[in-house]
Amino acid sequence: MNELLEQRYRTVLRLLPRSYRAEREEEMVAAFLEYSGDVPDEENPRPSWGEIASVLALSTRVRLGGAGATPRFVAWGAAVRLVATLGLAFHAAAGAYTLASLPFTAPSSTTRTLGVLAAALWATAFVLLMRGHVRTAKPVALAAGAAALAELAVWQNLGSLFVPLDVVQQALNVVVPLAGLLAGFHDDVPPVRRAWRPTVLPPAAGLLLKAVILALLPVLGKVPLLWPWVDLMGLATVVLVAAGIVCLARRVPAYVPLALAMLGTLMLPSRLSVVDNSYLSSGPAVLWASSVGQCGALVVMVVLLAVAGFRGLPAVRQRRETV
Amino acid sequence: MFLALTALVDEPRHGYGIVQEVDRLSGGRVQLKIGSLYGVLDRLAGEGLVALDREEVAQGRLRRYYRLTDSGAGALEEEAARLTANARAATARLRERTARLRPGPAFARLLRETAADAGGAG
């Protein structure tokens, strides 16, 4: 009696980290079997989807530093939250750039409407997150992500040049920070209200970039070498490499290099797509070499940050606090 | 969290015992899944509101009993007071609304007289 159900529930519990199972598995199995009552194996019993979902949610929370997590998972949770925060910061900067570009773009196209909507929503979501309104930031960021993905889909339908790496990178840039925001900022993480200065910095950087590009416009046409350095992702690459150098030079908590390594990995397809782009491969060799240099710096930095992050993580077998 | 804490007020309970009690307290509206229960217990234990009371083996299976701590009782008391205050405010406003909508004595007398006149005429 109940053997099959027990076996299947134990399989579901394998979703949980080993350290958590070591302490909770037997008691969870006992509670589940009491809850289910006697079910003969002939009835081919299975844990309900609701039970499986509850274990999956518990597993995600424990792995991202929720109550009962080991220090290692607490660090992973902090890394995921930093990825979400910096991802939204990037979108807030890009959003401010898009809004500042409005007077210079063709009026009333579908992509423009979606782009403007996404830009405004990203910036709002970032401000809400930074000011501690996490619950409100989540649906706003989801709406921003939906608008951004819709814009991407419309672009593809318009028959524009399809660069797979570019599409993948843009989709990942939306999905990964969103997933980090939804999963990383769970109920066990008390909201933190950050100061206004770091809150307005990314949108201000987006506006500044637009002003700089406008000022450099006459020069940019003549110096293609600058192109890969003045697009948003190019600048983000420079910022990430610089932050990585600072991070490696100083003793910072493990979650910081881990988060930067994740963000660098996310940026890599964008830089690879630049190298792959026809306007570069047919352009001056020095320009192509400059883009390859960007890629190389990013790869090296991601590897160094990942190694530093993993080395700095607390040991796997540290026990969690017993109830 | 509120119901899980309430379930531990009268005595320490094990996992399934808490699920049953929460179900009873909520009149069947809240049916905790086991994964959710342990998420709640982790959180309550992390905040020091519940603690492990004892372990038992029943029919070859491990049962851990949890008890409400003093700090848990205090937190529950505060939450109960807050909910009571909310309920009291809602009840008072509903009473005011009913009084406002109910016809006054003069209007009620007029209604009675009109009804009597109509009866006499018939």
The string of pLDDT tens digits covering residues B44-53 is 998 899 999 9
pLDDT at A322: 45
Which of A31, A187, A322 is nearest residue B34 as measured by Cβ atoms?
A: A31
| B50 touching A (Cβ < 8 Å) | yes
Share of chain B above pLDDT 70, in %: 94
What angle separates helix A71-101 from helix A164-184, to the nearest 10 degrees?
130
Contact across the interface for A27 and B50, Cβ inside 8 Å: no
Indicate the pLDDT class of residue A281, thresholds 50, 70 and 90. Answer: low
Indicate the pLDDT class of residue A323, thresholds 50, 70 and 90. Answer: very low
pLDDT at A321: 47
Contact across the interface for B35 and A67, Cβ inside 8 Å: no
pLDDT at A28: 94
A contacts of B7 (beta carbons < 8 Å):
none
Instruction: Give the DSSP letter of residue B103.
Output: P
| B24 touching A (Cβ < 8 Å) | no
Cβ-based neighbour number of residue B83 at 10 Å = 11
pLDDT at A27: 92
Q: Tell me, yes or no, whether A322 lies in a domain.
A: no
Q: Let me know whether A147 and A270 are in one domain.
A: yes
pLDDT at A257: 94
The secondary structure of B21-61 as a DSSP string is: HHHHHTTTS----HHHHHHHHHHHHHTTSEEEEEEEEETTE
B contacts of A322 (beta carbons < 8 Å):
52
pLDDT at A315: 79
Q: Let me know whether A129 and A276 are in one domain.
A: yes
Averaged over A133-161, what is the pLDDT?
A: 86
Q: Tell me, yes or no, whether A319 lies in a domain.
A: no
Q: Let me know whether A99 and A58 are in one domain.
A: no
What is the model's pTM? 0.79
Backbone angles phi, psi at A30, to 5 degrees: -60, -45
pLDDT at A234: 82
Q: Tell me, yes or no, whether A320 lies in a domain.
A: no
Share of chain A above pLDDT 90, in %: 50
Alpha helix (H) residue ranges in chain A: 3-13, 18-36, 49-63, 71-101, 110-130, 134-157, 164-184, 196-222, 227-230, 232-249, 255-276, 278-281, 285-312
Q: Tell me, yes or no, whether A323 lies in a domain.
A: no
B contacts of A56 (beta carbons < 8 Å):
35
Q: Tell me, yes or no, whether A321 lies in a domain.
A: no
Alpha helix (H) residue ranges in A223-281: 227-230, 232-249, 255-276, 278-281
Q: Let me know whether A14 and A122 are in one domain.
A: no
Averaged over A165-191, what is the pLDDT?
A: 88
Is the pLDDT at B77 greater than 50? The verdict is: yes
Provide the number of CB pairs (under 8 Å) joining chain A to chain B: 80
Q: Let me know whether A224 and A116 are in one domain.
A: yes
Q: Tell me, yes or no, whether A196 lies in a domain.
A: yes
Is the pLDDT at A320 greater than 60? The verdict is: no
Q: Let me know whether A17 and A136 are in one domain.
A: no
B contacts of A34 (beta carbons < 8 Å):
16
Indicate the pLDDT class of residue B122, thresholds 50, 70 and 90. Answer: very low
State the average pLDDT for chain B: 88
pLDDT digits (tens, 9 = 90+) for A186-219: 888 888 899 999 999 999 999 998 888 888 877 7
Contact across the interface for A55 and B61, Cβ inside 8 Å: no
Q: Let me know whether A169 and A217 are in one domain.
A: yes
Is the pLDDT at A68 greater than 70? The verdict is: yes
Q: Tell me, yes or no, whether A164 lies in a domain.
A: yes
Q: How many domains would you assign to chain A?
A: 2
| B77 touching A (Cβ < 8 Å) | no
pLDDT at A114: 84
pLDDT at A11: 95
Burial category of A174 from C-beta neighbours within 10 Å (exposed 0-12, middle 13-18, buried 19 and up):
buried
Q: Let me know whether A55 and A192 are in one domain.
A: no
Say how far apart CA B13 and CA B8 lie, in whole Å: 6
* Residue A298, min C-alpha distance to chain B (Å): 39
A contacts of B35 (beta carbons < 8 Å):
28, 51, 53-58
Indicate the pLDDT class of residue A51, thresholds 50, 70 and 90. Answer: very high
Averaged over A82-104, what is the pLDDT?
A: 89
Contact across the interface for B16 and A30, Cβ inside 8 Å: yes
Which of B19, B47, B61 is nearest residue A35 as measured by Cβ atoms?
A: B19
Averaged over A135-150, what is the pLDDT?
A: 94
Contact across the interface for A31 and B19, Cβ inside 8 Å: yes
Q: Tell me, yes or no, whether A317 lies in a domain.
A: no
Is the pLDDT at A98 greater than 80? The verdict is: yes
Instruction: Give the DSSP letter of residue A192.
Output: -
| B67 touching A (Cβ < 8 Å) | no
Radius of gyration of chain B measured on its C-alpha atoms:
26
* Residue A180, min C-alpha distance to chain B (Å): 20
pLDDT at A31: 92
The secondary structure of A9-27 as a DSSP string is: HHHHHTTS-HHHHHHHHHH
**Better-scored residue on pLDDT, B42 or B104:** B42
Q: Let me know whether A214 and A116 are in one domain.
A: yes
Contact A25, A13 (CB under 8 A): yes
pLDDT at A159: 61
- How many residues in chain A? 323
Which of B35, B42, B46 is nearest residue A51 as measured by Cβ atoms?
A: B35
Q: Let me know whether A242 and A299 are in one domain.
A: yes
Q: Let me know whether A29 and A161 are in one domain.
A: no
- Highest-confidence range of A68-72, B19-23, B60-64, by mean pLDDT? B19-23
* A230-234, B46-50, B95-99: least confidently modelled range: A230-234
* A206-215, A311-320, B81-90: least confidently modelled range: A311-320
Indicate the pLDDT class of residue A174, thresholds 50, 70 and 90. Answer: very high
Q: Let me know whether A80 and A173 are in one domain.
A: yes
Is the pLDDT at A295 greater than 90? The verdict is: no
pLDDT digits (tens, 9 = 90+) for A253-269: 999 999 999 999 988 88
Residues of A with CB under 8 A from a CB of B: 24, 26-35, 50-51, 53-58, 61-62, 66-68, 187-188, 321-323
Closest CA in chain A for residue B36 = A54
Q: Which domains does chain B have, with CATH numbers?
A: 2-114 (1.10.10.10)
pLDDT digits (tens, 9 = 90+) for A11-26: 999 999 998 999 899 9
Residue keyed to tokens 């610089």: A242
Which range of residues forms the domain containing residue A227? 71-312
Compute CA A199 distance to the chain's CA centroid, rounded to the nearest angstrom: 18
Q: Which of helix, strand or coil describes residue A182?
A: helix
Contact across the interface for B43 and A50, Cβ inside 8 Å: no
State the average pLDDT for chain A: 85
